[in-house]
Amino acid sequence: MNERKLKSIFQERLEDLVFDKKKAAKLTQNQIADEIGIATSALSNYLNSDREAGAVAVYKIAKYFGVTADYLLGLENAPTHIEADICDKTGLDEKAVRQLLLYAVYAKAEQRDLDAGQLGQNGMFFKALNNLIANNAGIINDIAVYLFTEVDGDVSVKFTHGDYVVAIGEDKRFIAAGMLNVISEGLVKERDRLRGGGG
């Protein structure tokens, strides 16, 4: 990997980390630089690829954001060894895992702001996701069927929540909408169940 590519990876990953931190913690770039322990101008230079970060700066940035230096430098794709392990075990890519971890941060923040027992948006998302995967609610399977099925001619698509029969000559967009409607109905039921305090 050439030097320009390495600098580009460092810049992109630092940019993503700073953006996520600003959003999650409601901090300014100056505040983030202060918390890292580097000058505001230095952080700005790293983000704009105007200056290369030295070993001490890379160490401080990695420690502050909870990622590995190897990730920042483009030697690994997963930000942490834990995330790399999650990717390996689940088959999800590093961006998907990072997004889930970000949702988890938001869910914890919500609980501090909400009355005891009340689920916020992200908390409900996680509870539903856990139920769908662990309890085999069927919607995950329906999504898999929908993504895999190519509608061509006369075919009967088996969904967990019932069959969807496709007739010859039907518009494919209409068929796709119908299949998605089956999934949507399942998600609505799961949402209502969670709001009612079930599971």
In CATH terms, is domain 3-76 a member of 1.10.260.40? yes
Tell me the residue ranges of DSSP E strands in 28-178. Answer: 155-159, 162-166
Which pTM was predicted? Answer: 0.53
Cβ partners under 8 Å of residue 187, min gap 6: 128, 139
Backbone dihedral angles phi then psi of residue 128, each to the nearest 5 degrees: -65, -45
Q: What is the residue type of 190?
A: E
User: Residue 194 above 80 pLDDT?
Assistant: yes
Q: Which residue has the higher pLDDT, 61 or 111?
A: 61
Residue pair 64/57 in contact by the 8 Å Cβ criterion: no
Query: In angstroms, how far is CA 103 from the centroid of its own chain?
Result: 7
| pLDDT tens digits along 49-104 | 888 899 999 999 999 998 889 889 888 877 777 787 888 888 998 888 888 888 88
